Amino acid sequence: MTDRTELLESALDSLPDGIALFGSGGEVVFWNHAAEAITGFACLEMLRRPIPEALEPLLLERALQGDALFAAEPEAARGCLIRARHKLGHEVQAMVRTLALRDALGGRIGTAAVFHPAESLDALPHGETDENHTVEASQAELEERLQCEYEDFARGGPPFGVLWISVDQALGLRKTHGYSACEAMLDKVQKAIAQGLRPTEELGRWGDDDFLVICHERTPEMLATHAQALAGLARTADFRWWGDRISLTVSIGGAQAEPGLTETLAQLLRHAQEAMESSIHAGGNCITSAPGRQACLPS
């Protein structure tokens, strides 16, 4: 019979993140396959030894985020950026969470480091698209604008936030009425939302069913209020197909960049995406602001 230790090691080895476990004396007691791939250091040369000097940033005290291996708080989930050295000598940038491991009485028995290459955070998340060239062109334009706005904000420019908007009826309409009907509906929604935009804001397709709005509201609360206004406009879109009027609603996720830029642009978008998905899971016709305040709108 396979014991629990083997099962746990097998589970940790299957994870895409690097997982390193250290004993109370700092010696390596576990080093998974992803850790080997990211750092170049094999498990056999790491076990029962102190971490090599090239990888010491993995245990920087400023990376310490909590006392549980899978912390639920958003700040703990983000971790921090470190620069270590690959076994071959080149620099490795990684996002790391370093977490204290404790026994049943609260005594510290070791440390866990969970890490992955920072490069994987650079790609901006998008909504899904099925080779829709119109959507792809819009995504490219918005990406360029997003980078400019993010860099401007970093230099002390105007407030910067994003609203990720998904049309609740899009998937069902595409299945029942076809591609043309869905695109006609999305065009109606886009025109309705555009009526509520500020002159400096930009709206575009961000996926087959999604839109993105680049905003300059001063606070997360103001961003949420703006999202409610745009959601109301989307609901007024008068869409008819073969004489049938189809009522429309949207699910919105908002995220506001914080002074000091504690997160990358990709992370900011990912928070908006997660907030939007929370709105969908709440039943649609809903607004969620990162880190998780939700408001469902009246029918």
Q: Which of 150, 171, 151, 173 is nearest to 161 (CA)?
A: 150
- Region of 189 on the Ramachandran plot (φ > 0 left; ψ -120 to 50 alpha; else beta): alpha
Amino acid at residue number 197: L
Tally DSSP H helices, then E strands, for the chain: 9, 14
List, for residues 83-123, the tens digit of each pLDDT value.
888 888 877 878 888 888 898 888 889 989 998 887 555 57
List, for residues 175-234, the tens digit of each pLDDT value.
888 999 999 999 999 999 999 999 999 999 999 999 999 999 999 999 999 999 999 999
Helix (H) or strand (E) holding 246: strand 244-246
Domains for the chain: give ranges and CATH numbers: 16-120 (3.30.450.20), 133-296 (3.30.70.270)
More confident residue, 11 or 202: 202
Mean of pLDDT values over 269-288:
93
Q: Which of 73, 76, 148 is nearest to 112 (CA)?
A: 76
Spell out the long-range contacts of 256-261 with Cβ–Cβ below 8 A and sequence spacing 24 or more.
Answer: 256/159, 256/160, 256/161, 256/217, 256/219, 256/220, 256/223, 256/289, 256/290, 257/150, 257/153, 257/159, 257/160, 257/161, 261/153, 261/154
Task: Report whether pLDDT(5) > 90.
Answer: no
User: What token pair was written down for 101?
Assistant: 């491991």
Is the backbone peptide bond immediately before 259 cis, with ω within 30 degrees of 0? Answer: no
Query: Taking a C-beta distance cutoff of 8 angstroms, is the pair 146, 126 a contact?
Result: no
The pTM assigned to this predicted structure is: 0.61
User: What pLDDT is attached to residue 251?
Assistant: 96
User: What pLDDT is attached to residue 127?
Assistant: 87
User: What pLDDT is attached to residue 65?
Assistant: 42
